Every structure is written in C-alpha cells, then in structure tokens.
Structure 1
Amino acid sequence: MEDLLRPIYQERASQWNTQGILMIEKKNPISPNTDKFDVILFMIVREQEVPLFVKHYELQDKKAALYIASEEQLAEWITIGTNRRVIDWIINGKVLFDRNEFIHLLRGKLLDFPLEDRKLKIGIEFSKLIRRYLEGKDFFDSKHYLDAYNHIVHSLHHLARLAVIDHGFHPELTVWSQVKKIEPEIYKLYEELIAGDEPIDKRLELLFLASEFLIYSRTKTGAKHLLEAMAEKEESWSYHELLHHSELSKYSVDLSVLVGYLVEKGYIEVEQIETKGKGVYHRKYKVVE
C-alpha cells in the first residue's frame, strides 16, 4: 500500500513546510477511525492558507484520503479535543517522513501528557460537563425526559474524559473501556443509565443526584486552570477580559456557565462597579482567597 501512495506524498515530503507524514490503515471493515477509507495519509505542515486540506483518492481497488493540517490546527484538535482520532493517528500511525524528529517529539509529548496541558484540557472538559449537566437538569425539571437523557449521557462522557485526563492519559475513542479500569464508579453510573430496568424518569433522578456529587467533588480540579489564570492579577476581571485571555478563550461559549457555577459554589466572587446609570452596575469577577 505504501508503494501505491508514494507518488502522492513524496513530492510534499521534500517541501520545507512539511513537518511529518503518517500512514494509518483501516483496522476492520467498518472503521470510523479512517472514515471507512482503506488508508489515511496524515500530513502536518508548519502553515497553510486553510487550517485543513483534504483530498480523496482511488488506487486500484482501494480508497485513500489525504489530510494536510497546519500545526495550529493540530494544536487546537489536541487541546480542545474536537478531533480525538488524531491522537490515535499520531501515536499509532506509521511514520513515512519525520523532519527533525517532529513526530517523534510530538508522540513523546502526547504520551508524557505534561501537567500544564492536562490542566487546560481538564478545564475545558469540566466547563462542557457543567453546561450539559445544567441543561439536562433544566429539561428534567420540565419533564422533557428524552432531552434530559440526551444531555446526561453527554455530561457523563465529559465526566469520563475528565477522569481519564486527570489520571494522565488522553481520552481515546473507546473512552468507556478506559474509564471501566480507571474510574469504575463513573462506568457504573453510565451502565445504570443506559441499561437500567427502571422508568426513564427514575433513572434520571438517581443519575442527577449522583452526578451532582461527582461534579462537585471534582470542582477544585476542574476549575484549577481558570482560577490560576484569574490569579495572574490582583484586580477583578470583566467577563470580556476573561473571554479574550489567551488561554481562557479556548473555553469558548462554555466559559460563561463555568464562571457562573464557580460563583455559585463560592470559588469566585462578584464585584459590582458603578455605572452612570442609577442602580446599574458592571459585574466583575475575582478569585476568592
């Protein structure tokens, strides 16, 4: 297969912009890891006009796809977790080209999973967990049980990924097999939700109670990245400042709900700053010491 693909990647390998090229072959007949293609060529470049370029090929009786991602796009995928397949591609793919050990060093960083990288990913997962949980609880209180079920399933996925990251591993596509070994308590909750015999409203009621405890017990860990960023200055922060902080901007729309949750739980305090309007105040935020 590699011989057939060589004309596709050989010219690009010689370009200064190319950092590394990996080949990922399909493992089974239905393989979401390769989007049902027989093989993926994954190329990382320093920069390009678009963050991701994709091209599809047919060669003999095989299907192949070429993915060319910029380093910036790759960093976003790894940090925010929007393309979890890429972790598997980098760690398990066959290296076809590696400029100055770029892929070798990247693999080492992913496997080591430094504490600073973990704190950011935990923070992002925790913010997504809070949003899904609160939205699910709102649906449950309104007796929209199927919508509540959908949200609590997603919140448990975020809780599972958070637990895996906290143990020093990257969440894989098969995250539940990881969680079963690492945090069996979370796995049991998930199992009870999807396979329990009780009516859906009863299952959800129990899950929300259990989840609330698990979420609260992880608040200190989940909020650490945000609180450390806020502690960079003694003055209070406007929400605009938080949203455009170089690290916190990665939380995107989930930052607001996380800040609100931490205010409610006493980790962040609100300062009211007078405006020109009578009885109207700016709302600013500060870490509780």
Structure 2
Amino acid sequence: MEDLLRPIYQERASDSSTLGIVIIEKTKPNSPITDNFDVILLIIVREAMEDWFVKHYELDGGKTAAMHIVTEKLLMDWIDTSGYRKAVEWVINGKVTFDRNGYIAQLKDQLRDFPCGRRNLRKAMEFGKLVKSYNEVKELYESQQLKDAYSRMVHSLHYLARLAVIEKGYHPEVTLWNQVKQIDPEVYKLYEELIESDEEIEKRIKLMILAADFAISTRAEVSAKHLLDIIRTQNEAWTYADLKQHEAVKPYVLDLAAMLTYLTEKGLLETELAPTKGAGVYQLKYKSVS
C-alpha cells in the first residue's frame, strides 16, 4: 500500500515547506484512529493556503487512504488544546517516511515528555469542562431529569478520566477507557460502577455525585494551577472581564465562570466587592488566598 502512495508523498517531500510525513495504517477491522481508512498520510507543512487540507483516495485492490496536510501552527494548537486528538496519536505512533532536519523526531520526543506548561493548560481545560458538566448533573438530578443526569454524568466521568491521564503525564487517547484502566484504576472503577451497577438509575446517580464531588475537590488546586498562577501574577483582585480578556485563558474561557465559582466555594479563591454606580450593587473581584 505504501508503494502506491509513494508518488504522492514524494512529491510533497520535495516541497521546501514540508516538515515531515507520517503514515498510519489500519490494524483492526474497526479503526477509529484512522476513521476506518486503511491508511492515513499526515503531511506537516510550515505554511499553506489552507491550515488543514484533506483528500480521500481509493487504491488498486479496493484499499482506501486519507491524506491530511496540516500546518505546523494548527497541529501545535491541536496538541495544546486536544482539538483533534487523533493527530497526536498519528504523530506518536505513525511511521515516519520523511523528516526534515529531525522535525518529527523532536516532535515525538516533545509529545512523550508532555512539558509541564502544556500539561497545566490541558489540566485546566479538562477541569473547567468537568466542573461545568458536574454542576449540570446536580441540577438535572435535583429536577428529576434522571436520564439526562445519567448522560451528563457519563460526560463528567469522561472529563475526569482525561484529567487523570494528563496528571500522569500522558496525552488522552481515542480509546480513553482502555488507557484509564491501566493508568488510574480508581477513576475506571467509578465508570464501571455507573454503567454496570444493578442499582436503580436514581441511586446510581446519587452515589456518583458524591464520589465525583470528592474526586473533583481533591484535584481542584492542582488541576486549576494554570488559572491560579495567572491570578497570582498581580496583587490586586481580578474582575471577570479582565480574566476573560487574558490571552492565556482563551482555551478555557467558556468554562471560566464555572471555574471561578467552584474555586471560590472550595476556598482556593476569595472575592472582593467593588462599588458600582448602582446603590447596593457591587462587582465581584477574584484573588488567590495564597
């Protein structure tokens, strides 16, 4: 199969903008990693007219292939924000067919190392989604929307699982629960208890709300370090608007309000009241307690 694709990627390799080319072959009948294509051809370029260009092929013999041409900038954004998780696995596990000046080799090392700065950002992103989702579970449970509460709890445990994987220094994979089973059995057990228990759905959700509350609160300070470090960069308290505009917060800005409220409730942040033009109305400001 690679022989049939060689003319395509050799042409791309001759382009001075191409940084590296990786091939990923399908190894199972159902392959979410390759979107069920028999082979993925990932071509990383310095710059291009489109940040992400995709082309599908059918090869002699009925095999299928997908070519992804991705700019370095977009790929790094995917890596930092988990915008397209498969791409990370493609880089880590793919076969390198072209590597300009060791670019792919360095990128593989970087992904395996998962630098602390990137890890803290990813933890904050998953923590924000987790807190917001968990709050929705409680609201749905209290209003007796049990099926919706159950569905949202599954999502919450998914965010918790991704957070657990990142804490251990790994990138979450597409086959997340198989990964979590090896890395964090306690989180995996929560998932099993939710989906496999013989208890009625209402009791399952109630028990899981208690378990999830403990799991989230014990991780809060470490998981929100990225945001807490930003807040600690100045002695004055921050308004929500100021934090919202901070460039480093943008990857999780949609979950920022939920994070601030949760961290305040848990005593990791404290609030100050600033007078406004309205009598008896104050603007909330946030600062670290330490």
- Give the TM bin, normalised by the shorter chain: over 0.9
Shift of 1:279: 2.9
Point out the more displaced range, 172-181 or 151-160: 172-181
Native 8 Å contact 1:270 1:285 kept in 2: yes
Partner in structure 2 of residue 36 of structure 1 = 36
CA distances 1:84-124 after superposition (whole Å, capped 9, x unpaired): 21121011101111111111001001111122221111111
Does residue 19 of structure 1 match 2:33? no
Alpha-carbon separation, structure 1, partners of 2:202 and 2:48: 50
Partner in structure 1 of residue 258 of structure 2 = 257
Shift of 1:253: 0.7
Partner in structure 1 of residue 46 of structure 2 = 46
Native 8 Å contact 2:39 2:64 kept in 1: yes
Alpha-carbon separation, structure 2, partners of 1:270 and 1:7: 62
Native 8 Å contact 1:127 1:258 kept in 2: yes
The DSSP-based 3-state class of the residue aligned with 2:58 is strand
Point out the more displaced range, 36-45 or 77-86: 77-86
Alpha-carbon separation, structure 2, partners of 1:228 and 1:137: 29
The 3 A distance-change label for structure 1 pair 47 and 244 is farther
Moved over 6 A (4+): none
CA distances 1:57-97 after superposition (whole Å, capped 9, x unpaired): 12212211111111221122112213221121011101111
Alpha-carbon separation, structure 1, partners of 2:106 and 2:97: 15
Native 8 Å contact 1:120 1:225 kept in 2: yes
Partner in structure 2 of residue 161 of structure 1 = 162
Partner in structure 2 of residue 217 of structure 1 = 218
Shift of 1:7: 2.0
Alpha-carbon separation, structure 2, partners of 1:254 and 1:242: 12
Alpha-carbon separation, structure 1, partners of 2:141 and 2:122: 28
Native 8 Å contact 2:275 2:283 kept in 1: yes
Partner in structure 1 of residue 5 of structure 2 = 5
TM-score by length of 2: 0.95
The DSSP-based 3-state class of the residue aligned with 1:252 is helix
Q: For the aligned residues, what is the CA RMSD? A: 1.4
Does residue 131 of structure 1 match 2:129? no
Partner in structure 1 of residue 249 of structure 2 = 248
CA distances 1:43-64 after superposition (whole Å, capped 9, x unpaired): 1112233321111112212211
The 3 A distance-change label for structure 1 pair 31 and 201 is same
Shift of 1:138: 0.7
The DSSP-based 3-state class of the residue aligned with 1:97 is strand
Runs of 5+ consecutive residues of structure 1 not aligned to the other structure: none
Does residue 58 of structure 1 match 2:43? no
Point out the more displaced range, 178-187 or 118-127: 178-187
Native 8 Å contact 1:176 1:187 kept in 2: yes
Shift of 1:11: 1.9
Alpha-carbon separation, structure 1, partners of 2:241 and 2:15: 41
Partner in structure 2 of residue 108 of structure 1 = 109
Shift of 1:173: 1.8
Shift of 1:179: 2.0
What is the one-letter code of the residue matched to 2:277?
K
The 3 A distance-change label for structure 1 pair 241 and 17 is farther
Partner in structure 1 of residue 73 of structure 2 = 72
Partner in structure 1 of residue 207 of structure 2 = 206
TM-score by length of 1: 0.95
Alpha-carbon separation, structure 2, partners of 1:134 and 1:153: 13
What is the one-letter code of the residue matched to 1:92?
N
The DSSP-based 3-state class of the residue aligned with 2:21 is strand
Shift of 1:168: 1.3
Partner in structure 2 of residue 272 of structure 1 = 273
The DSSP-based 3-state class of the residue aligned with 1:232 is coil
What is the one-letter code of the residue matched to 2:160?
L
Partner in structure 1 of residue 94 of structure 2 = 93
What is the one-letter code of the residue matched to 1:163?
A
Runs of 5+ consecutive residues of structure 2 not aligned to the other structure: none
Alpha-carbon separation, structure 2, partners of 1:83 and 1:281: 41
What is the one-letter code of the residue matched to 2:117?
E
Native 8 Å contact 1:20 1:103 kept in 2: yes
The DSSP-based 3-state class of the residue aligned with 2:37 is coil
Percent identity over paired residues: 53
Native 8 Å contact 1:193 1:204 kept in 2: yes
Q: How many residues align?
A: 289
Partner in structure 2 of residue 288 of structure 1 = 289
Point out the more displaced range, 98-107 or 255-264: 255-264
